Amino acid sequence: MKNYFKKHPWKIIENKFTPEYNQVSESIFSIGNGRMGQRANFAETYNGDTLQGSYLAGIYYPDKTKVGWWKNGYPEYFAKVLNSVNWIGIKLKVNDHTIDLSRLEVIDFYRELDMKNGILKRRSIVKVDKKTSIQIESERFYSLQQKDLSFLHYSVKNLGQKCKVEITSFLQADVWNHDTNYDESFWQFDKSNIKDKVYWIQSTTRKTEFTVVAAQKNVVMQNGRNIKDKTYKKGEQNIGLTYKSVLKPEESIELIKHTAICSSFYYDKKNLKKTTLNRIKKSIKKGYDVLISDHSKAWNEKWKTMDVLIEGDVAAQQGIRYNIFQLHQTYTGEDSRLNIGPKGFTGEKYGGSTYWDTEAYCLPFYMGTSTQSVCKNLLKYRHNHLPKAIENAQKLGFVNGAALYPMVTMNGEECHNEWEITFEEIHRNGAIAYAIYDYIRYFGDDGYLAEYGIDVLTGISRFWAQRVNWSTDKNAYVILGVTGPNEYENNIDNNWYTNYMAKWCLIYAYDCYNLLIESNSLFPNDMIAKLNLSKKEVESWNDIASQIYFPTSRKHGIFLQQDGFLDKEQVLVADLKNEERPLNQKWSWDRILRSPYIKQADVLQGMYFFEEKFSKKSLENNFNYYEPRTVHESSLSPCVHSILAASLGKMDKAYEMYLRTSRLDLDNYNNDTEDGLHITSMAGSWLSVIKGFAGMKIQNNLLSFHPFLPEKWKSYSFKIKHQGQSIKIKVNGEEIALENESKNDKIVKIFNKRKTIAAFGSITVNHN
Amino acid sequence: MKNYFKKHPWKIIENKFTPEYNQVSESIFSIGNGRMGQRANFAETYNGDTLQGSYLAGIYYPDKTKVGWWKNGYPEYFAKVLNSVNWIGIKLKVNDHTIDLSRLEVIDFYRELDMKNGILKRRSIVKVDKKTSIQIESERFYSLQQKDLSFLHYSVKNLGQKCKVEITSFLQADVWNHDTNYDESFWQFDKSNIKDKVYWIQSTTRKTEFTVVAAQKNVVMQNGRNIKDKTYKKGEQNIGLTYKSVLKPEESIELIKHTAICSSFYYDKKNLKKTTLNRIKKSIKKGYDVLISDHSKAWNEKWKTMDVLIEGDVAAQQGIRYNIFQLHQTYTGEDSRLNIGPKGFTGEKYGGSTYWDTEAYCLPFYMGTSTQSVCKNLLKYRHNHLPKAIENAQKLGFVNGAALYPMVTMNGEECHNEWEITFEEIHRNGAIAYAIYDYIRYFGDDGYLAEYGIDVLTGISRFWAQRVNWSTDKNAYVILGVTGPNEYENNIDNNWYTNYMAKWCLIYAYDCYNLLIESNSLFPNDMIAKLNLSKKEVESWNDIASQIYFPTSRKHGIFLQQDGFLDKEQVLVADLKNEERPLNQKWSWDRILRSPYIKQADVLQGMYFFEEKFSKKSLENNFNYYEPRTVHESSLSPCVHSILAASLGKMDKAYEMYLRTSRLDLDNYNNDTEDGLHITSMAGSWLSVIKGFAGMKIQNNLLSFHPFLPEKWKSYSFKIKHQGQSIKIKVNGEEIALENESKNDKIVKIFNKRKTIAAFGSITVNHN
């Protein structure tokens, strides 16, 4: 449903209750603080369609692999993101009727996600019986300042005649995942108790043994007076307090849930209960008003650096802010053990926490908007997983420290179990090397290479060196049996992108090794010894790289996506009937595979990464060939095409592709938002504006811009952090204004011309 | 364990009890009569490792598909062969000890499968307690004459001091499949009862609603006297009779179970109980001795035509008879609704009943040894499934009556769910057309074409015509995204075998159409109308066929298995280490895929089908290229290589490959006999002797031979049925003797020379 949510520059608004769309809304209104997050499930009883979901960073369950036909090399489990303790639990009874929006008449309904302040609000008016209507108002948030705390402010107002009200506020630990392979329970309940009006529940994940304690205390007021409570227990896994009262007409009762959730991922298991109860004590002491104000301030502070302001196009404005907001709710970068799950804290689907999306799409967003340490944490995550990547390669028969990073992972172990992806979508290794290159180039952090970079590059290079084989027929090294970024081709030979990434990795590792050898001090000898690296081995990488085969078509002046691509039927996306799309829902898999249709940027993905290495003519030829064949059925695709289109001056195409990416979930483009949000592709929206419309690149260590203004927009502006400095760019119809917010001069390139912006100074430049 | 079973020309013998090998023995000693069959589970209680299995032809359960990742086009279910009512049930107690070979000391053990008479016998001596030992003798069979009847003759002899004996003989309906996707029960119990010493159980399969009634009556004697019985019931699903007695030293008690099992697959559901009880009544009246004698006679009669006699090599003799015996136990050919399941009645694995094995491997066996009507039934099976094959193609996006026969099926619907096989191993369509050609050529049954052949050929041709696409690059039709017979390559382009079969199908259908049009009377006009066939369409088939692309290598003088095959690493099977084999257990799937190793004959499969179309030189080049790259990890592979090696005069290779195929299960070559026998590949053993060693072919409507005698053998002889005549061939070191057993002269070709054998006459020919 396009245009279901109201457009607003800072808010997502839903102003009617649509039960059949409830699961989409649950996804859209998700909130989180990087450590915890949840779908917008109703606090009170709801018997309609719903996907219950409250998630905790780092907590997962290794769900036994489910396949139709086992293939050697498959992993034993898939790490599932866990639906965990339900802390928003409310049972509301009015005149003995249980309030349930799926059962009662909803007279009025309004929900908003206030992105500026990070708060989810709802107001519902419900008809309870002939004489009784009530208004529920709720407000909730995960504190961005106190990351173990979350709050629900819930009030019930009597709009009818005098009525009895009974509110139970509770914690619930007997929760299930929707996505389980064998209907197993992922949690083991430990204990629960209530003392001094504070109740708590402890449970532990099966197998992985993460322990979580959730504690809660309510502040309940009616006319400024506290209400008497009574312990509520339903088994041991549902615990809370019940408040009974009578409401006169227009009278309200208000309940504030203070919740602390602490896990053994962060805290000592032994003192977990104590730690959690302490958090509650402090929260109550500080008080709700202070805590919500601190939380808002923290968000406001974030927006100062992250915001992209678009004037003249409220749909685009709402879209980009929504994407930035959700990204920041998912990953805040303090902890190198965490990463950016494909659904963040908004759903279970896909499981795992890390795909190549992180390196290829998300890292540049965090580089531009966050701190170096956040980005370093993203890289160290992979560095820490190197031993597992080596094990993973060993399982597939590779030796001598070759590393294959997993397609999907939580802790470094491969979780994916579909041979054509798990074993063959090996280009992911390239993105991990590219991220090292990208990070070092962006921050100028040469020290990273010796400390964390070279061993990862070595493992990856060893993988490529073993994965190629010599073709006597082609007199070159070939890479057989792969799946490229375009997953609508499986088990193909010589995927241009994969071959290119392999070649680039080998040369980059060779160059890095030599750089480190030359600058002796940076490269400790014990690292060489540890890696058992010889000059001969490193030279063999360079040698292989120089003889890797690339499929090309002279006739079309393009790189071929893979061997045999020109054998495909010569039809274009324009030849498809509307009812055939999306192909992945309408066509059988084999038909998709043998068709020429491309799911996502593949050759163009490679040209995007290394645009400077290709001529404009070559880029244009390839874009003109592949774009008409690309169906963009991956959320990761349109942003790359948008950026390249912008670079080629194809402004309409760039804008079209931007629209496709930035409102993907808000407009439920792929008809799957109910499963959760497409978190990682949200970084692509930011990239489309910054790298696409503003044409930002790093060129010879300098920030470079080549901006244009989409026709429909009045202006746009954003800030870029680069090497400790912050530059604000505003592009309007007349000119481009650049502001240096730092205390040192900043040299930038704009339209390929070097410009110096004085400390705290600004310049303006005319459009090209 | 090679050489575990004793070698004997007519028997399979096991002369010790090896609990850890029990499941293999259960498979090996399986018995059946084409309508029912079972694994050699012990009749009495057995708590060791066992796979319980009694199966009924045509009775299946549609088990909901289980996959890791759903692909559009997957079927909803996999048709599972069902473990059904256990009719051999015996509980034997001696001095209150339950007799269980897994718990008691087994003093002596002997088991034999008498293939000549189709009877399974066992003798076990068990120590019950210090003073008591007993000898159990059992004999059982599924009547080949009375196909609803089966018998167990079970006797217990006291070898120690006087003892109490209690025998319960029962039917058990609460049985489970080992292989269920979701641990569902496949059977719904209906009712059971006992009256006049006859007890019966009725149950019905869930979803498919096949009803089965099993009834049983026992004849129990001790010293010529009947024993008193008592009703035994354990719930409603275990029903029988208990006999208690006392045995003096050396005294015996004997029990004969008469069992009738009737299913709604064969009989009217309403009268099923009555039908079954009638069978029992007649069986008792006829008596065990007459019935076992009739059964033996029926087997002896079969052997007269089916036997292959090998002198001088008892292992080879036992092997070929075992294969023939098991094939005939599985499929007797009376019913065109049945087919030859990959495990027959010996296990659950793979499910379904029909793979392309039937057409490519089994049909020639039945053509040579059985009647035309049996073979016609095999073909009609596919003819009857044509509407489902059209539906199956529609699911994948094909139109206009294109038919894709399923990879695996029970009732015509596709059951397989692995995209690279289900959607891509489309060469199976070719084998189904080839079988029509093979059958017509063998029997000269031209009438089959108009009645049953042309619509199948039309559906298949329409599939190929839509499945090719024009490659502007190759200026030819290509077939992209297929899996050939060599399943160690997936989703490849232009598999030579597939392209060849496609081309051949299109031309054959074109020729058949023209033949029918010319001989107007044979081809009813309403068939043309029904098929909506136009001359133009048929000509387009010929046109496409003439422009299909074939990958070849001039350098090697070979057909290339697929595009890009020469890019593979140039290593041979000889380069593999022993510990790396079988590859499918030792290597990861991706490694297998990109390796040059071939699972089973692929290009050579095509050359085997159409040997007359290729020069000896070409066959030799291809054999010399592909054989050293073939690991034969499919049971269907070595026979094809054996036959071609024989044709090329590579006698040692032919014999090596024959050995590999003929004792596959007896020597548990692939270490998987415990799951059941490799029924369909057993036809390959017969083919290796008849088409390989004896060089039998059909040439211009004539039986043709080109025999050689393997070095180790003294002689071999067999009979071939051809167009209503039976020819006996005996090959020894000196000469080849041919005997015409029919009342008309028979012209045959031997070593390419025409010879006439007079009616009931014989000729001898010297070796070439």
Q: Closest partner residue to B68 among A67, A72, A491, by Cβ?
A: A67
What one-letter code names the amino acid at A457? L
Residue to test with chain A: of B547, B576, B588, most A Cβ within 10 A? B588
Count of domains observed in chain A: 2
Q: Is residue B64 within 8 angstroms of chain A, CB to CB?
A: no
Say which DSSP state A107 is in: E
Q: Note the residue count of chain B.
A: 768
Token pair for A686: 């930011």
Q: Which residue has the tokens 């874009």?
A: A623
Q: Closest partner residue to A472 among B490, B570, B584, by Cβ?
A: B570
What one-letter code names the amino acid at B371? T
Token pair for A167: 């509110």
Cα end-to-end distance, chain A, whole Å: 39
- Which of B731, B390, B732 lies closest to B532 in space, CA to CA? B390
What one-letter code names the amino acid at A496? W
Q: Which residue has the tokens 């080998």?
A: A506
Query: Which phi and psi angles does B307 have, rounded to 5°?
Result: -65, 145
Residue B73 placed within a domain: no
Say which DSSP state B439 is in: H
Per-residue pLDDT band at A748 (split at 50, 70, 90)? very high
Chain B segment 717-736 residues within 8 A of A by beta carbon are none
B671/B193 Cα distance (integer angstroms): 43
Do β-strands A105-114 and A97-98 pair in parallel, antiparallel, or remain unpaired?
Answer: unpaired
pLDDT tens digits for B298-329?
A: 999 999 999 999 999 999 999 999 999 999 99
Token pair for A81: 């993101």
Cα end-to-end distance, chain B, whole Å: 39
Give pLDDT, residue B354: 92
Residue A731 placed within a domain: no
Q: Which residues of A touch B72 (CB under 8 A)?
A: 584-589, 592
Residue B642 placed within a domain: yes
Residues A287 and A392 placed together within one structural domain of the fold: no
CA atoms within 13 A on the CB side of B597: 22
Give pLDDT, residue A522: 56
Residues B464 and B373 placed together within one structural domain of the fold: yes
Catalytic positions of A: 487
Chain A segment 409-468 residues within 8 A of B by beta carbon are 417-420, 423-424
Q: Mind telling me how many Å the CA of B538 is from chain A's nearest CA?
A: 23
Alpha-carbon dihedral sign for residues B708, B710, B716, B718: negative
Asked whether residue A495 carries a pLDDT value surpassing 60, the answer given is yes
Residue B207 placed within a domain: no
Query: Which phi and psi angles does B23 have, rounded to 5°?
Result: -70, -30
Residues B741 and B653 placed together within one structural domain of the fold: no
Contact at CB, A589 and B72, closer than 8 angstroms: yes
Residues B538 and B673 placed together within one structural domain of the fold: yes
User: CA of A381: how far to CAs of A61, A62, A371, A414, B622, in Å?
Assistant: 19, 19, 16, 14, 51
Q: Which residues of B touch A67 (CB under 8 A)?
A: 66-68
For residues B80 and B71, is the Cβ–Cβ distance under 8 A? no
Q: Is residue A397 within 8 angstroms of chain B, CB to CB?
A: yes
**A321: Cβ contacts below 8 Å, ≥ 6 apart:** A9, A10, A115, A307, A308
Token pair for A107: 């007279």
Residues B648 and B605 placed together within one structural domain of the fold: yes
Residue to test with chain A: of B567, B571, B575, most A Cβ within 10 A? B567
Residues A159 and A26 placed together within one structural domain of the fold: yes
Radius of gyration of chain A (CA): 27
Residues B681 and B766 placed together within one structural domain of the fold: no
Contact at CB, A588 and B65, closer than 8 angstroms: no
Q: Mind telling me how many Å the CA of A69 is from chain B's nearest CA?
A: 7
B406/B354 Cα distance (integer angstroms): 9
Residue to test with chain B: of A182, A477, A588, most B Cβ within 10 A? A588
Give pLDDT, residue B530: 87
Give pLDDT, residue B334: 86
Residue B74 placed within a domain: no
3-state secondary structure B219-271: EEEECCEECCEEEEEECCCEEEEEEEEEECCCCEEEEEEEEEEEECCCCCCCC
Q: Which helix (H) or strand (E) holds B497?
A: helix B496-518
CA A440 to chain centre: 22
Query: Which phi and psi angles does A758 have, rounded to 5°?
Result: -65, 160
Residue B212 placed within a domain: no
Q: Which residues of A touch B491 (CB under 8 A)?
A: 420, 490-492, 593
For residues B638 and B291, is the Cβ–Cβ distance under 8 A? no
Among A303, A335, A352, where does a domain finish?
A303
- Crossing angle (nearest 10°) for helices A637-647 and A651-662: 160
For B518, counting Cβ atoms within 10 Å of its Cβ (0-12 exposed, 13-18 middle, 19+ buried), the class is: exposed
- Which of A583, A603, A120, A55 lies closest to A350 in space, CA to CA? A55
Upstream peptide bond of A75 is cis (omega within 30 degrees of 0) = no
Residues B448 and B507 placed together within one structural domain of the fold: yes
Q: Is residue A567 within 8 angstroms of chain B, CB to CB?
A: yes
Q: Which residues of A touch B481 (CB under 8 A)?
A: 590, 593-594
For B529, counting Cβ atoms within 10 Å of its Cβ (0-12 exposed, 13-18 middle, 19+ buried), the class is: exposed
Contact at CB, B588 and A478, closer than 8 angstroms: no
Q: Which residues of A touch B474 (CB under 8 A)?
A: 567
| SS3 assignment, position A591 | helix
B143/B126 Cα distance (integer angstroms): 29
Chain A segment 544-563 residues within 8 A of B by beta carbon are 563
* CATH code where residue A113 lies: 2.70.98.40
Contact at CB, B490 and A493, closer than 8 angstroms: no
Q: Which residues of A touch B587 (CB under 8 A)?
A: 72, 397
Contact at CB, A588 and B71, closer than 8 angstroms: yes
Asked whether residue A658 carries a pLDDT value surpassing 70, the answer given is yes
Q: How many CB atoms lie within 10 A of CB A555?
A: 9
* CATH code where residue A532 lies: 1.50.10.10
For the segment A164-187, the average pLDDT, to the nearest whole number, is 94
Higher pLDDT, A503 or A635: A503
B701/B487 Cα distance (integer angstroms): 34
Contact at CB, B590 and A65, closer than 8 angstroms: no
B217/B198 Cα distance (integer angstroms): 5
With vertex at residue A159, the alpha carbon angle to CA A157 and CA A164, rounded to the nearest 5 degrees, is 65
| SS3 assignment, position A195 | strand
pLDDT tens digits for A206-246?
A: 999 999 999 999 999 998 898 999 999 999 999 999 999 99
| SS3 assignment, position B50 | coil
Q: Which residues of A touch B183 (CB under 8 A)?
A: none
Q: Is residue A470 within 8 angstroms of chain B, CB to CB?
A: yes
Size of interface A-B (CB pairs under 8 A): 135
Q: What is the mean pLDDT of each run of 10 residues along chain B (768 residues)?
A: 89 97 97 97 97 96 92 93 97 97 97 98 96 97 97 97 97 94 92 97 97 98 92 94 97 98 97 98 98 98 96 96 97 91 92 91 96 95 97 97 97 95 98 98 92 95 98 97 98 98 98 87 72 94 98 97 97 96 94 97 97 97 98 93 97 93 90 92 96 95 95 96 95 97 96 96 94
Asked whether residue A182 carries a pLDDT value surpassing 90, the answer given is no
Among B639, B671, B693, where does a domain finish?
B693
Which residues pair with residue A721 across a beta bridge?
A: A726
Q: Which residues of B touch A417 (CB under 8 A)?
A: 68-69
Q: Which helix (H) or strand (E) holds A226?
A: strand A225-226
Q: Closest partner residue to A395 among B570, B586, B588, by Cβ?
A: B588
- Residue A420: closest CA among chain B residues belongs to which residue? B590
Contact at CB, A481 and B586, closer than 8 angstroms: no
pLDDT averaged over every residue in chain A = 95
Chain B segment 573-632 residues within 8 A of A by beta carbon are 584-594
Catalytic positions of B: 487
Q: Which residues of A touch B469 (CB under 8 A)?
A: 567-569, 594
**A226: Cβ contacts below 8 Å, ≥ 6 apart:** A220
Chain B segment 239-268 residues within 8 A of A by beta carbon are none
Residues B711 and B639 placed together within one structural domain of the fold: no
**B212: Cβ contacts below 8 Å, ≥ 6 apart:** B56, B59, B84, B85, B202, B203, B204, B205, B261, B262, B263, B264, B272
Q: Which residues of A touch B423 (CB under 8 A)?
A: 588-590
Give pLDDT, residue A527: 78
Q: How many CB atoms lie within 10 A of CB B185?
A: 13
Q: Is residue B475 within 8 angstroms of chain A, CB to CB?
A: no
How would DSSP label each residue in A522-573? Answer: GS-HHHHHHHT--HHHHHHHHHHHHTB---EETTTTEE-SSTTGGGS----G
Contact at CB, A396 and B591, closer than 8 angstroms: yes
Residue B573 placed within a domain: yes
Q: Is residue A569 within 8 angstroms of chain B, CB to CB?
A: yes
CA A479 to chain centre: 31
Token pair for B448: 């089959």
A739/A755 Cα distance (integer angstroms): 12
**A575: Cβ contacts below 8 Å, ≥ 6 apart:** none
3-state secondary structure A133-168: EEEEEEEEEECCCCCCEEEEEEEEEECCCCEEEEEE
Q: Which residues of B touch A419 (CB under 8 A)?
A: 589-590
Residues A399 and A268 placed together within one structural domain of the fold: no
Residue B7 placed within a domain: no
**A544: Cβ contacts below 8 Å, ≥ 6 apart:** A464, A465, A468, A477, A506
Give pLDDT, residue A1: 63
Per-residue pLDDT band at A524 (split at 50, 70, 90)? low
For residues A87 and A150, is the Cβ–Cβ distance under 8 A? yes
pLDDT tens digits for A288-326?
A: 999 999 999 999 999 999 999 999 999 999 999 999 999
Residues A296 and A391 placed together within one structural domain of the fold: no
pLDDT averaged over every residue in chain B = 95
What one-letter code names the amino acid at A129? D
Phi-psi sector, B577: left (phi>0), alpha (psi -120 to 50), beta: beta
Among B284, B304, B324, where does a domain finish?
B304
Residues B623 and B482 placed together within one structural domain of the fold: yes
Token pair for A301: 């502070």
Chain A segment 128-157 residues within 8 A of B by beta carbon are none
Contact at CB, A471 and B566, closer than 8 angstroms: yes
Q: Mind telling me how many Å the CA of B86 is from chain A's nearest CA?
A: 29
Range of the domain at A60: 11-303
Instruction: To the nearest 10°, report the CA torsion of A570, A575, A581, A582.
Output: 40
Q: Which residue has the tokens 């531009």?
A: A368
Asked whether residue A354 carries a pLDDT value surpassing 80, the answer given is yes
